[in-house]
Amino acid sequence: MNTRALFAIPLLIGLGNSPLQAACPGGVSSSFTVSGQVTNPGVFNLSQLEQFAPAQANVTHFAAGSVVTESFTGVLLWDLLNNPPVGGIVTDPTVKNDILHKIVIVTGTDCYQSVFGAGEFDPLFGGSQIMVAYATGGQSLGSAGFARIVVPGDKAGGRFVSNIANIDVEDAGLYPSNSPK
């Protein structure tokens, strides 16, 4: 097992004990918070998401043993986090490619979580079109809440988080720049 994997295990275990997870109300979401290392943390609802330039994706994935194809409309996660009103993921300009140290933890009202590396969806790096979807087939998401994370290209829908309660940006911060390899 490589050293980075050993350091990541405590981080992932620690995510399971977050204050948000201790109080998961469940149910259908009508808003979510953006928190952590962003310029302007805040709360978003459907009308605020609809103010962004809409993104669309046709997504095919495995869910509960079946192949599912859906058409989603929403806002790209990169656009949500890096345009007003959030204003950007906070990075240190003195650290080379500091964006690659950032992780985004998306939590649903049921405490279901997915973790993404910011470099995965940064247009200068991975460029994945991860989306905060607010409609499917031109209709609301219904029991999936007003917004859910959709990851085009994933073979299974396991990273799709319905009923988003929080999108938290943090610094993985696992490796001092002078540590031996």
Instruction: List domains and CATH numbers for the chain.
Output: 3-171 (3.90.420.10)
Instruction: Provide the pLDDT for residue 3.
Output: 41
Q: Is residue 164 classed exposed, middle or buried when 0-12, 13-18 and 19+ CB atoms within 10 A define those classes?
A: buried
Instruction: Provide the pLDDT for residue 32.
Output: 97
Rounded to two decimals, the pTM is: 0.83
Region class of 30: left (phi > 0), else alpha (psi between -120 and 50), else beta: alpha
Q: Give 10-residue mean pLDDT values along the chain (181 residues).
A: 42 46 79 97 97 96 90 98 96 95 97 97 96 96 94 93 97 62 50
Phi, psi of 118 (to 5 degrees): -60, -30
Instruction: Provide the pLDDT for residue 22.
Output: 53
Euclidean distance between CA atoms 50 and 124, whole angstroms: 25
Bridge partners (DSSP) of residue 32 are: 44
DSSP state of 45: -
